[in-house]
């Protein structure tokens, strides 16, 4: 019998090592570390699988038989048409009998629903004399498609539905509008931005951007642990639908709708697409669009460049009374001058006029004039990059000296905070209530605000809440921001503010709902960056000098750089911006024109 065997029928096994060495020190046991590693690896793999499944559940098809409701029997016919990628879409076409329709409305249901959800809308429209097309989005109801894309490809479905009804003889003369719910509302907005013939949009509970919708969804399901789940699910989802979530953006599309009527509907208790989402969309709307103009090159081989400025001003000034005195342009003090950014735009336009009238040599030049800069760089976000053909450019949007180059800007986060308390009669039983105002006051009183350090600032911008003096305030809404030239510092400041809101809510028995949005990313430029080099050489060629400096504000350049358009912010003539003391020196305007011409010359010489 071998030395390894203890009993007659037992399997042999290796002898165990002693648990301690002769000197009393425990032996190294690699098997234990391997088990820990395998356990951790298994946990990571399980987490990946579970988050993938969560992502798949949200994009998996939702097919099903859709029966025509009794209320539309005899007045709706089933139709089939194809989306732009060939996906077959099924719907009901409802046309009022005995009279020409007053218009036609495309009806777009929400996620994991079907055209049946829009049947009552179709009935209402028929009774009002409108035709309606209620259809199933791809991967819904009786339409084809292998997966839901959460608004991205569904936008193509809306555009195809509009094209389909325009081809029908009985509807060819009708204006087309779109009504959408949730995902359908988001797709309706994005479709209208691409189809100028869509005359109006009604969007009920739309999201402003898909990445925010994902965040809201998991916040409602997982509470404080939402961040742990939302980001991997978002990554899996982006792989499944084939598009980044932050690029599925009704918010970016709103600026392109111009003066077309848009009705946004939101519910105060909707946590997936809360009222704040509609407010974001509302803030983008306007009656003007971005302008992209191209001056073709008259020489070959020169880089393609752009100049950019923004149309909007920080406040309206319809009764502008301009005073020109002693070489200075200002107002009578009753309004802003609006030189931010008219000074930049006028210098660019004057330089282009001189180039064209004198046939000066130049490469291709594009003018990118944006809207909604002052309310969040929204025009730059919405800019259609398919219209842009450029190598690098210059954004005219900072103060003198003329030619100043902004080399560093902060990362800027915004916070939308809802503090929920509990209402009660303030005179009869206030102890049964929880004051949201008290929660807010307690949190803010402990916050580091204003100038945090040389690189960082923070601010509470607005507070709204309360109904009456005899009601314990049940809800307060706040907006706040933090900025820093150091990304880690801005994230630390936001975490500090978030923690205080949440702690105060917990202390008083309320709830804090906080949404954090990266308003824009900061950037850093050096003298080696090509746009900076060109400005510095142009300044030297006309005998000027100007500083390179950081700033605490943002500009369209932040968005352009993030979207892959190299550029730098260049100083123009406006001074004391955003005040009624704003002014411009005429000599500075002339220098700004000279600098623009010098830049064009420098680029032409780069052949």
Q: Which of 248, 263, 284 is the last residue of a domain?
A: 284
Mark whether 72 and 115 lie in a shared domain: yes
Computed over every residue of the chain, the mean pLDDT equals: 90
Tokens of 255: 């600026």
Residue 31 lies in a domain: no
Q: If you write DSSP's letter for every residue of 122-184 in order, what string do you get?
A: HHHHHHTT-EEEEEPPTTEET---SS--TTHHHHHHHHHHHHHHHTSTTTTTS-EEEEEETHH
Mark whether 171 and 263 lie in a shared domain: yes
Q: Give CA–CA dist 90/137, Å, rounded.
A: 8
* Interval 395-408 mean pLDDT: 94
Mark whether 209 and 103 lie in a shared domain: yes
Give yes or no for a contact between 79 and 92, defined as CB atoms under 8 angstroms apart: yes
Mark whether 405 and 415 lie in a shared domain: no
Which pLDDT score is estimated for 36? 85
Residue 3 lies in a domain: no
| Among candidate residues 369, 341, 372, 406, the one with its CA nearest the CA of residue 574 | 341
| Among candidate residues 284, 128, 301, 106, the one with its CA nearest the CA of residue 184 | 106
Pairing of strands 567-571, 392-398: parallel
Domain extent at residue 425: 411-520
Give yes or no for a contact between 569 and 379, defined as CB atoms under 8 angstroms apart: no
Query: What are the residue numbers of the active site?
Result: 312, 373
Q: How many domains does the chain have?
A: 3
Q: Which of 486, 520, 554 is the last residue of a domain?
A: 520
Q: If you write DSSP's letter for every residue of 9-59 in order, what string do you get?
A: SPPP-PPPPPSB-TTSPBPP-HHHHHHHHHHHHHHHHHHHHHHHHHHHHHH
Residue 581 lies in a domain: yes
Q: Please report, for the domain that includes residue 469, its CATH number.
A: 3.30.70.360
Confidence label for 257 from pLDDT (cuts 50, 70 and 90): confident
Which pLDDT score is estimated for 16? 45
How many C-beta atoms lie closer than 10 Å to residue 16's C-beta? 6
Which pLDDT score is estimated for 24? 47
Confidence label for 378 from pLDDT (cuts 50, 70 and 90): confident
Tokens of 383: 């800019």
Confidence label for 15 from pLDDT (cuts 50, 70 and 90): very low
Q: Please report, for the domain that includes residue 202, its CATH number.
A: 3.40.50.1820
Which pLDDT score is estimated for 29? 57
Mark whether 496 and 531 lie in a shared domain: no
How many C-beta atoms lie closer than 10 Å to residue 157's C-beta? 29
Which pLDDT score is estimated for 105? 98
- Does pLDDT of 1 surpass 60? no
* Interval 41-70 mean pLDDT: 92
Does this model's pTM top 0.75? My answer is no
Mark whether 315 and 387 lie in a shared domain: yes
Tokens of 251: 């918010």
Q: Give CA–CA dist 299/306, Å, rounded.
A: 16
Mark whether 404 and 416 lie in a shared domain: no
Mark whether 438 and 427 lie in a shared domain: yes
Mark whether 320 and 199 lie in a shared domain: no
Mark whether 296 and 167 lie in a shared domain: no
Which H or E run includes 201? strand 198-204
Coil, strand or helix at 74: coil
Residue 44 lies in a domain: no
State pLDDT tens for residues 71-88.
998 899 999 999 999 999
Residue 62 lies in a domain: no
How many C-beta atoms lie closer than 10 Å to residue 583's C-beta? 18
| Among candidate residues 137, 136, 270, 262, the one with its CA nearest the CA of residue 213 | 270
Residue 543 lies in a domain: yes
State pLDDT tens for residues 408-456.
999 999 998 989 899 899 999 999 999 999 999 999 999 999 999 999 9
Lowest-confidence range among 25-39, 158-172, 529-543?
25-39
Q: Give CA–CA dist 456/152, Å, rounded.
A: 37
* Interval 352-357 mean pLDDT: 96
Q: Which of 284, 314, 341 is the last residue of a domain?
A: 284
State pLDDT tens for residues 498-550.
999 999 999 999 999 888 888 899 999 999 999 999 999 999 999 999 999 99
Q: If you write DSSP's letter for every residue of 454-490 in order, what string do you get?
A: TTEEEEEEEEEE-S-TTB---EEEEEEEEEESSHHHH
Residue 535 lies in a domain: yes
What angle in degrees, to the nearest 10, is found between the helix axes of 530-541 and 586-604?
A: 120
Spell out the residues 6+ positions from residue 287 whose beta carbon is closer than 8 angstroms to its own: 258, 259
Residue matched to tokens 């990313």: 521
Q: Give CA–CA dist 335/581, Å, rounded.
A: 8
- Does pLDDT of 286 surpass 80? no
- Does pLDDT of 19 surpass 60? no
491 — alpha (psi -120 to 50), left (phi > 0) or beta?
A: alpha
CA angle (434 as vertex; 432, 438 as ends), nearest 5: 140
Task: Report how far apart, in Å, the C-alpha atoms of 457 and of each of 351, 493, 498 are.
Answer: 37, 9, 15
Mark whether 379 and 437 lie in a shared domain: no
Residue 394 lies in a domain: yes
Q: Give CA–CA dist 553/243, Å, rounded.
A: 30
Mark whether 213 and 265 lie in a shared domain: yes
């Amino acid at each position: 019998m071998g030395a390894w065997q203890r009993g007659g029928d037992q399997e042999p096994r290796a002898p165990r090592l002693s648990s301690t060495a002769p000197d009393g020190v425990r032996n190294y046991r690699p098997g234990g570390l391997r088990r820990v590693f395998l356990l951790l690896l298994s946990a990571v793999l399980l987490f990946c699988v579970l988050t993938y499944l969560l992502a798949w559940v949200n994009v998996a098809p939702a097919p099903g038989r859709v029966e025509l409701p009794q209320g539309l029997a005899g007045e709706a016919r089933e139709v089939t048409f194809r989306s732009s990628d060939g996906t077959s879409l099924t719907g009901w076409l409802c046309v009022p009998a005995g009279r020409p329709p007053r218009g036609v409305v495309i009806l777009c249901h929400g996620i994991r629903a079907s055209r049946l959800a829009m049947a009552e809308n179709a009935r209402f429209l028929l009774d009002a004399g409108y035709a309606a097309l209620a259809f199933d989005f791809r991967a819904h109801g009786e339409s084809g498609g292998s997966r839901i894309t959460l608004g991205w490809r569904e936008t193509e479905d809306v555009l195809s539905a509009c094209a389909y009804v325009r081809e029908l003889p009985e509807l060819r003369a009708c204006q087309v509008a779109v009504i959408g719910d949730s995902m359908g509302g988001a797709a309706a907005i994005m479709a209208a931005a691409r189809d100028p013939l869509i005359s109006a949009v009604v969007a009920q509970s739309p999201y402003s951007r898909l990445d925010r919708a994902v965040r809201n969804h998991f916040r409602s399901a997982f509470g404080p642990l939402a961040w742990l789940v939302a980001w991997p699910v978002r990554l899996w989802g982006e792989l499944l639908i084939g598009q980044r979530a932050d690029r599925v953006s009704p918010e970016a599309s709103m600026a392109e709708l111009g003066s077309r009527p848009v009705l946004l509907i939101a519910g105060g208790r909707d946590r997936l697409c809360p009222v704040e989402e509609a407010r974001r969309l509302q803030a983008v709307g306007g009656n003007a669009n971005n302008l992209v103009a191209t001056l073709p090159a008259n020489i070959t081989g020169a880089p393609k460049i752009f100049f950019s400025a923004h149309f909007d001003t920080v406040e309206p000034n319809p009764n502008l009374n301009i005073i020109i005195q002693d070489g200075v342009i200002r107002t009578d003090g009753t309004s802003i001058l609006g030189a931010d950014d008219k000074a930049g735009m006028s210098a660019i336009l004057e330089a282009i006029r001189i180039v064209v009238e004198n046939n000066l040599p130049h490469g291709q030049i594009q003018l990118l004039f944006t809207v909604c800069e002052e309310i969040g760089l929204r025009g730059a976000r919405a800019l259609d990059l398919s219209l842009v053909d450029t190598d690098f450019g210059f954004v005219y949007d900072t103060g003198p000296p003329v030619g100043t180059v902004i080399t560093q800007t902060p990362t800027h986060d915004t916070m939308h905070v809802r503090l929920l308390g509990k209402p009660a009669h303030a005179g009869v039983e206030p102890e049964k209530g929880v004051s949201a105002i008290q929660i807010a006051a307690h949190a803010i009183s402990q916050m580091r605000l204003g100038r945090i350090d040389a690189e960082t600032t923070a601010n509470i911008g607005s507070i709204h809440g309360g109904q009456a003096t005899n009601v314990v305030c049940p809800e307060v809404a706040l907006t706040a921001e933090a900025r820093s030239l150091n990304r880690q510092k801005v994230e630390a400041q936001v975490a500090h503010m978030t923690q205080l809101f949440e702690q105060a809510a917990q202390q008083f028995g309320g709830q804090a709902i906080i949404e954090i949005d990266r308003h824009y990313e900061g950037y850093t430029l050096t003298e080696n960056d090509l746009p900076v080099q060109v400005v510095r050489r142009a300044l030297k060629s006309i005998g000027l000098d100007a500083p390179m400096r950081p700033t605490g504000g943002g500009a369209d350049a932040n968005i352009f750089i993030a979207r892959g358009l190299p550029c730098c912010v260049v100083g123009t003539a406006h001074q004391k911006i955003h005040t009624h003391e704003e002014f411009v020196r005429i000599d500075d305007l002339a220098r700004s024109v000279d600098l623009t011409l010098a830049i064009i010359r420098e680029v032409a010489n780069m052949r």
